[in-house]
């Protein structure tokens, strides 16, 4: 129930049809992938890509692109920025791209955990129901692991289905379950194909068969995650919509736009998986236009363009619902969302939400009318950074560290170094 712009109670229904539960609270945090709470509470939101004409973002809208396999950003390679370089960068964009708005969201997948410990590794004994090997014959994201490896486990991030998830953000439970099931079956199908299909060279098949599902993960769900990886769904329209331009360096300066109400920072490049087509993985799809010279629709890896920027508190709250804060589906455009959507940043924003709720309770303030100066000081006192510096780990005990971060927020410190000399 929402009364006079405040959520008074929420009824949660059981997925298995069991009894519903009514919850009352003074303040609410929507930490869902999908932004379901903000939607039912009446907060404004968006789904899909903005057009170039709305905010003047260089990479907005329907955009056909190339990706270049090249370590980037150069400033990280040169040790000017204390970031881990990524293995790819943005290539050319098709000048004929319409750059118009649409309802596309970037591709999802079932991001399973895989294991190579023979004592815990479960290999598939059959393909999933409805398996069609022809789906995978031209599929080029042929991998079961990414670069990280911890305790004999890794992340399975290869299978994506651009364009098959557009109905998920606002879909009912049946629609979402159908889309999730399709992504699950595709992930298992790719695993089976790579490990068993004769079109895969025998040495590669043997390498793939070293990895299977872990017997000690998700034991109550067939060793698979309960949720698919929803990379993008609803996005709040808050008091400030973070845009690509907010995360690009200002002319002649190092840092992007400063925000006096900054409560967190982004350190991952603006990054979007393909939204509709991915010729590198899937081939042409019906109704999709664009030149084969630009194989992706919406795939962005803005490693060179991006600079670590700030997230203003205004992007976590809106005018319409006074006691709601949104640290996950925060207020950003589709392009800027590519920098918000990483788990370390969500952890950062989730901690901010906790501090904000504590302050709102203690001082009887509305979440969307919080004294942000006081909130910033509470975060800094607790060691929660609100601006990016190269020397964060070494600077935690410096007396002037909080002062330097506030200086960044007010546009008084452009360098990423605490001591520019």
| pLDDT in the model for residue 280 | 55
Query: What are φ and ψ of residue 39, in 5° steps?
Result: -70, -50
For the stretch 362-414, pLDDT in tens is 999 999 999 999 999 999 999 999 999 999 888 878 889 999 999 999 999 99
**Tokens found for residue 93:** 């964009």
Which pTM value belongs to this model?
0.94
Q: Are 40 and 266 in contact (CB under 8 A)?
A: no
Burial 169-205 (b: 16+ CB within 10 A, else e): bbbeeeebeebbebbbbbbbbbbbbbbbeeebeeeeb
Confidence of residue 283 (pLDDT cuts 50, 70, 90): very low
| pLDDT in the model for residue 158 | 92
| pLDDT in the model for residue 282 | 38
Average pLDDT over residues 109-119: 96
| pLDDT in the model for residue 290 | 56
Start-to-end CA span in the chain (Å)? 56
- Is it the case that residue 59 has pLDDT exceeding 90? yes
H runs (alpha helix) in 6-121: 36-40, 52-55, 74-77
d(C-alpha 228, C-alpha 33), whole Å: 10
- Identify the DSSP state of 315: G
Tokens 């006081």 correspond to 374
- Kind of pairing, strands 21-24 and 112-115? unpaired
- Is it the case that residue 305 has pLDDT exceeding 80? yes
d(C-alpha 180, C-alpha 110), whole Å: 8
Q: How distant is the alpha carbon of residue 220 from its chain centre?
A: 27
d(C-alpha 68, C-alpha 87), whole Å: 9
Looking at the chain, the whole-number percentage of residues with pLDDT higher than 70 is 96
Q: Are 35 and 326 in contact (CB under 8 A)?
A: yes
Q: Are 116 and 152 in contact (CB under 8 A)?
A: yes
Average pLDDT over residues 142-152: 87
| pLDDT in the model for residue 398 | 87
Q: Are 255 and 408 in contact (CB under 8 A)?
A: yes
| pLDDT in the model for residue 140 | 85
| pLDDT in the model for residue 149 | 85
Closest CA to 348 of 301, 397, 313, 317: 313
d(C-alpha 347, C-alpha 325), whole Å: 14
| pLDDT in the model for residue 287 | 44
How confident is the prediction for the chain on average, in pLDDT?
Answer: 94
- Is it the case that residue 307 has pLDDT exceeding 60? yes
d(C-alpha 215, C-alpha 176), whole Å: 27
Q: Are 167 and 116 in contact (CB under 8 A)?
A: no
Closest CA to 359 of 340, 382, 341, 343: 382
- Is it the case that residue 217 has pLDDT exceeding 80? yes
| pLDDT in the model for residue 284 | 42
């Amino acid at each position: 129930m929402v009364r006079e712009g405040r959520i008074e109670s929420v009824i949660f229904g059981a997925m298995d049809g069991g009894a519903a539960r009514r919850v009352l609270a003074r303040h609410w945090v929507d930490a869902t992938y999908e932004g379901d709470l903000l939607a039912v509470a009446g907060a404004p939101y968006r789904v899909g890509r903005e057009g170039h004409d709305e905010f003047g973002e260089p990479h907005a809208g329907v955009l056909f692109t190339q990706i270049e396999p090249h370590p980037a950003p150069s400033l990280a390679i040169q040790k000017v920025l204390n970031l881990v370089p990524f293995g790819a960068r943005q290539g050319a964009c098709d000048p004929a791209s319409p750059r118009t708005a649409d309802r596309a969201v970037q591709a999802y997948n079932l991001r399973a955990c895989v294991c190579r410990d023979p004592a815990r590794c479960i290999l598939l004994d059959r393909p999933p129901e409805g398996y069609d090997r022809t789906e995978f014959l031209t599929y080029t994201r042929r991998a079961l692991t990414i670069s990280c490896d911890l305790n004999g486990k890794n992340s399975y991030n290869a299978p994506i289905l651009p364009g098959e998830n557009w109905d998920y953000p606002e879909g009912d439970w049946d629609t979402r379950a159908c889309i999730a099931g399709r992504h699950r079956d595709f992930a298992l199908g790719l695993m089976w194909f790579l490990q068993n299909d004769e079109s895969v060279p025998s040495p590669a098949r043997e390498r793939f068969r070293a990895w299977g599902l872990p017997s000690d993960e998700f034991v109550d769900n067939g060793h698979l995650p309960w949720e698919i990886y929803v990379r993008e769904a609803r996005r709040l329209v808050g008091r400030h919509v973070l845009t690509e331009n907010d995360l690009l360096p200002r002319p002649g300066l190092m840092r992007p736009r400063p925000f006096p109400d900054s409560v967190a920072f982004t350190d991952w490049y603006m990054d979007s998986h393909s939204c509709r087509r991915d010729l590198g993985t899937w081939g042409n799809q019906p109704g999709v236009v664009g030149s084969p010279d630009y194989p992706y629709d919406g795939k962005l890896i803005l490693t060179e363009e991006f600079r670590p920027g700030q997230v203003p508190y205004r992007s976590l709250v809106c005018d319409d619902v006074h006691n709601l804060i949104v640290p996950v589906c925060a207020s950003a455009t589709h392009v800027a969302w590519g920098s918000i959507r990483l788990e370390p940043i969500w952890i950062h924003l989730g901690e901010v939400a906790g501090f904000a709720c504590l302050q709102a309770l203690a001082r009887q303030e509305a979440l969307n009318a919080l004294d942000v100066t006081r909130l910033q000081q509470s975060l800094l006192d607790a060691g929660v950074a609100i601006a990016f510096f190269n020397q964060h780990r070494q600077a935690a005990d410096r007396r002037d560290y909080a002062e330097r971060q506030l200086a960044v927020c007010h546009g008084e410190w452009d360098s990423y170094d605490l001591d520019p000399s």
